[in-house]
Chains A and B, each alone.
Chain A
């Protein structure tokens, strides 16, 4: 089945949005400190204003003392969230999550609509991750015969695209690509892995991880082409993301029928663990071998030893990864005149929403023993 015959997709056009001045093309780039402010100075200032509204340790200590969700709402109304829950008669964690995410989406869309190239392409790249999640959600939902309306409501608002509703009609991966994904930005990510295998039979996690691998590599290359501080900051962030996914894929595949060769195909090719660690991860079959594989990188060794021997026995490995991710994202605000801020802000807000939902769950179920397991940001 020829997959390239559908012509210039929207994705390819997006990639060609390079700065060209007639004779020569500079590739996507933003100005150094001398000219960055021309196109993106206002948005950077606006973003830093939003950043100052991220909840601090003092706010969290107020929130953990709440006894009911009403108290939570009252405490949140004195922060940057103000009255985001106004008009809600019954409060539960699902509504809190939905409203908090809607606030983040509003802020993001404001930034996106004000931006020009290449910042607008950069912000688009951030949304592709959510698109992948939405596509996988729809495929899984269809496998379990759920109603499409219900599924669309659960989709993340940042990852919506026009033809998303009709995705559920596809039967094979090739079908999915040709009919629906070819006009979306996700088209180039599915190219190498098309098969005639029935979508119902395929493991959705494989689809998710394959799409995500291509997306990460594409994003990384885009940031490297932009160059400057963006390449440096985003490079570090995306490499950590790639390594974290490699480690998680390895650990989650213990005891499943995923072969080592298939596993290797899911590891992103960027990342500090390439190539030594990845080769060892591919061969790993238990936790100790995973630890031996990542040992030569100081930061990951520390994360694992914190998980094993650290003070907080309640924190899972995933929590340790989140903690390190927060630390990296905070660091990107130390520089001015680059795009990493925008990505970091979205990630930090997501972490904040996870924290609030965790605290809300503990408060709602009156199980306060583990309430301090949120990850403090500032």
Chain B
């Protein structure tokens, strides 16, 4: 397999973990600034919306927590093999953690953006007409399910990945 097996399996695994965390937090941050700026602007003339619409920010934050969960799960698998040579199982673990990390990372990135834009529209609509809040919130709930999908798939992909000592 040439260069794929020339790269250390730990390299694959750690890059995957860092991308999972990094991209998830990017998505969460993106969503929060999209929602937060609209929320602040709309809250000037309609202060009643500010507390309710923090839910949108909460949904974006959940996306970062998904990334955190996955990174911690990966971290528990990343035990040091202390000197023995690499076996096929190690390569399997490395690859699966890398791609699971990427899956979770990108899913959370777009989920965060989605929830952010919808949250921004939700804040502005709520400021005009309070009955619209719950209806737009349903759209946000569907959007936040995307991050959950990524988390589930990531966990399934790495369920049998491990770096055993012997």
Contact = CB atoms under 8 A, between A and B. Distances in A.
Given A48-B41, A52-B45, A37 B120 contact: yes
Contacts of A37: 33-34, 37-38, 120
Interface string B29-45: 01001100111111111
Interface in A140-187: none
A21 to B, nearest CB: 21
A46 B124 CA distance: 9
A49 interface: yes
Most buried by A among B40, B121, B123, B124: B124
Nearest to A50: B45
A34 to B, nearest CB: 7
B70 interface: no
A42 B40 contact: yes
A47 B42 CA distance: 8
A49 B33 contact: no
B117 A49 contact: no
Contacts, number: 62
Given A42-B40, A48-B124, A336-B121, A53 B113 contact: no
Interface size class of A (residues with CB under 8 A): 10 to 19
Given A37-B34, A37-B37, A52-B128, A45 B42 contact: yes
A43 interface: yes
A45 B128 contact: no
Nearest to A46: B41
A41 B45 contact: no
B38 A44 contact: yes
Interface in A14-47: 33-34, 37-38, 41-47
B113 A45 contact: no
Nearest to B35: A37
Contact of A42 (B41, B45, B113): B41
A104 to B, nearest CB: 15
Contacts of A49: 41-42, 44-46, 127
Given A42-B37, A45-B39, A48-B127, A53 B121 contact: no
Nearest to A33: B117
Given A33-B117, A48-B128, A336-B120, A41 B46 contact: no
Contacts of A38: 33, 37
A33 B124 CA distance: 14
Interface in A37-77: 37-38, 41-50, 52-53
Q: Per DSSP, are chain B's interface residues mostly helix, strand or loop, or mixed?
A: helix
Contacts of A41: 33-34, 37-38, 41, 120
A46 to B, nearest CB: 4
A48 B34 CA distance: 16
B155 to A, nearest CB: 29
Contacts of A47: 41
B94 to A, nearest CB: 33
B16 to A, nearest CB: 26
Nearest to B37: A41
A50 B42 CA distance: 9
Most buried by A among B33, B41, B123: B41
B48 to A, nearest CB: 12
Contacts of B46: 49, 52
Contact of A45 (B30, B33, B38, B117): B38
A52 B33 CA distance: 24
Given A37-B34, A52-B127, A45 B41 contact: yes
Nearest to A41: B37
B37 A45 contact: yes
Interface string B88-114: 000000000000000000000000010
B106 to A, nearest CB: 15
Given A34-B113, A52-B128, A45 B44 contact: yes
Interface string B110-139: 000100010011011001100000000000
Interface of A: 33-34, 37-38, 41-50, 52-53, 336
Given A41-B34, A41-B37, A44-B41, 17 more contacts: A33-B117, A37-B120, A38-B33, A41-B33, A42-B37, A42-B38, A42-B40, A42-B41, A45-B41, A45-B124, A46-B44, A46-B45, A48-B42, A49-B41, A49-B45, A49-B127, A336-B120
User: Closest 9 A-B residue pairs measured CB to CB?
Assistant: A45-B41, A49-B45, A41-B37, A45-B42, A42-B41, A46-B41, A37-B37, A45-B38, A42-B37
17 contacts: A37-B33, A37-B34, A37-B38, A41-B33, A41-B41, A41-B120, A42-B38, A44-B38, A44-B41, A45-B42, A46-B41, A48-B124, A49-B127, A50-B45, A52-B46, A52-B127, A336-B120
